[in-house]
Amino acid sequence: MRLLFLPENHVLPLARLLAARYRFWGPAAKGGAFVFEEIADVSRLRLDYSTTLLPPKQAFLPPREILARIDIETHECRSPARPGKPIALFGVHPCDLHGLAHLDLAMGEPPADAPYWRARKDAFIVGLACVQRCMPESFCDSVESHRAGGPFDWMFTPVAGGYVVELRGEAGEREASESGLFEVAGESWKKNYDETRDRIEKTFSGRRLNLASLSSDLERSFQDGWWEKLADRCFSCGACTAVCPTCVCFDVQDEIAEGCRMAERCRSWDSCLIRNFAEVAGGENFRKLRSERLRHRMMRQGAYLAGRFGLPVFCVGCGRCPHACLGKISPLEAFEHSRKFPIRRYAQRLVEHIKNGVTRHE
């Protein structure tokens, strides 16, 4: 691990350098909150931001994106090329870095998603450590994503007078040395750095979940009537998935363009909470009830995707969804509840299930 120091007043010059070579994304203030967006004028950069309304996911998986442009007459088709320059994400908090790592897994599982990777491949990612909790709803520490992790090239940790920057990989080294803005390690900031890291650990010492058993606990709670109770507080509006850094579900629809000559096959973010998400022709809906859809999302975050990719959990605790949810439903609540689910009731249901004669292996 190589550490360098960046004085506070070098941040903007550095951002400017990156902005010249990359499409520059960072946190900026908008309408009384913060958003992660492409910013032309780097002085809008707000490294003091709390959290953003949407995660930086949209840099690589935009809310609406054209997958193919197809000539309606000839059927000739092409994938729209992304604008030439790669993307730089500047100032990504640890939860969102972990979120990007999860996205990489979901979009990287073979067959990997080409539109995503075209944007993601040469992206330069700059992390920024959190020294305080961004909002009451966040629970990054419960799922252990309050520490630096995920795909960063630089990781900034604020210390007195500037940032200690951890460099990673070839791109991180190259950009740092080409910029000429970093300073070599001194003893004082080293001490400062360790202190900050200790402080972060102390600040983020919320209740840790038993991540080892989380997914099995959750899966066991599947038949619990508690989900129905929880769904009384759910509108099934999909706000939670929309703001989630790890949700990837999408819809694909054709649009007509260019004087009815071209079709644009577009994908747009979808949500497993939306009523018709699992409905097929003929009207069968595999998750018809609000409670089934809510449960599915929690299972995806806490069990399904985690299991699929060998992780303890697929939620990064950013707290965006409980903040967005008007019923104040938090994954943390579901994760914690799953442990309380009484084994006895599970056993009882299993017996019923076997009595029904359908399954043997439960």
Ligand X SMILES: Cc1cc2nc3c(=O)[nH]c(=O)nc-3n(C[C@H](O)[C@H](O)[C@H](O)COP(=O)(O)OP(=O)(O)OC[C@H]3O[C@@H](n4cnc5c(N)ncnc54)[C@H](O)[C@@H]3O)c2cc1C
Residues that bind ligand SF4 (CB under 6 A): 239, 243-246, 301, 315-321, 326, 331
Q: By CB under 8 A, is residue 259 in contact with other proteins?
A: yes
Q: Which of 228, 264, 279, 336 binds ligand X (CB under 6 A)?
A: 279
Pairing of strands 250-257, 154-159: unpaired
Distance, CA of 36 to CA of 19 (rounded, Å):
15
Binding mask 227-266 for ligand X (x = CB under 6 A): ----------------------------------------
Distance, CA of 5 to CA of 166 (rounded, Å):
9
Instruction: Give the interface segment with ligand X, choosing from 98-106, 210-218, 275-283, 342-350 (CB under 6 A).
Output: 275-283
Smallest gap from residue 110 Cβ to ligand SF4 (A): 24
Distance, CA of 252 to CA of 51 (rounded, Å):
29
Q: Residue 71's beta-bridge partner residues?
A: 262
Residues 52-71 that bind other proteins (CB under 8 A): 53-54, 63, 67-68, 70-71
Q: By CB under 6 A, is residue 276 in contact with ligand X?
A: yes
Distance, CA of 157 to CA of 91 (rounded, Å):
10
List the single partner that 318 binds among ligand X, other proteins, ligand SF4, none, CB under 5 to 8 Å by kind: ligand SF4
Nearest residue to 14 (alpha-carbon basis) of 172, 150, 129, 130: 172
Distance, CA of 141 to CA of 8 (rounded, Å):
27
**Which two three-digit tokens encode residue 326?**
């008007």
Looking at beta carbons only, is 158 or 317 nearer to ligand SF4? 317
Pairing of strands 250-257, 124-128: unpaired
Smallest gap from residue 63 Cβ to other proteins (A): 5
What Cα–Cα distance (Å) separates residue 141 from each residue in 26, 103, 126, 149, 206?
A: 23, 20, 21, 13, 6
Entry field: residues in the chain: 362
- Give, for 257, the enclosing helix (H) or strand (E): strand 250-257
Smallest gap from residue 35 Cβ to other proteins (A): 5
Q: Which of 1, 40, 260, 281 binds ligand X (CB under 6 A)?
A: 281
Binding mask 77-96 for other proteins (x = CB under 8 A): xxx-----------------
Q: Which of 326, 342, 347, 348 binds other proteins (CB under 8 A)?
A: 326
CB 294 within 8 A of CB 329: yes
CB 28 within 8 A of CB 44: yes
Q: What is the DSSP string of 48-70?
A: T----SS-GGGGTS-SEEEEEEE
CB 67 within 8 A of CB 115: yes
Looking at beta carbons only, is 171 or 239 nearer to ligand SF4? 239
**Which two three-digit tokens encode residue 306?**
């985690």
Smallest gap from residue 264 Cβ to ligand X (A): 17
Q: Which of 104, 137, 175, 224 binds other proteins (CB under 8 A)?
A: 104
Q: By CB under 6 A, is residue 1 in contact with ligand X?
A: no
Q: By CB under 8 A, is residue 222 in contact with other proteins?
A: yes
Smallest gap from residue 158 Cβ to ligand X (A): 48
Looking at beta carbons only, is 61 or 159 nearer to ligand SF4? 61
Smallest gap from residue 226 Cβ to other proteins (A): 15
Looking at beta carbons only, is 204 or 277 nearer to other proteins? 277
Enumerate binding residues for ligand X (CB under 6 A): 276, 279-281
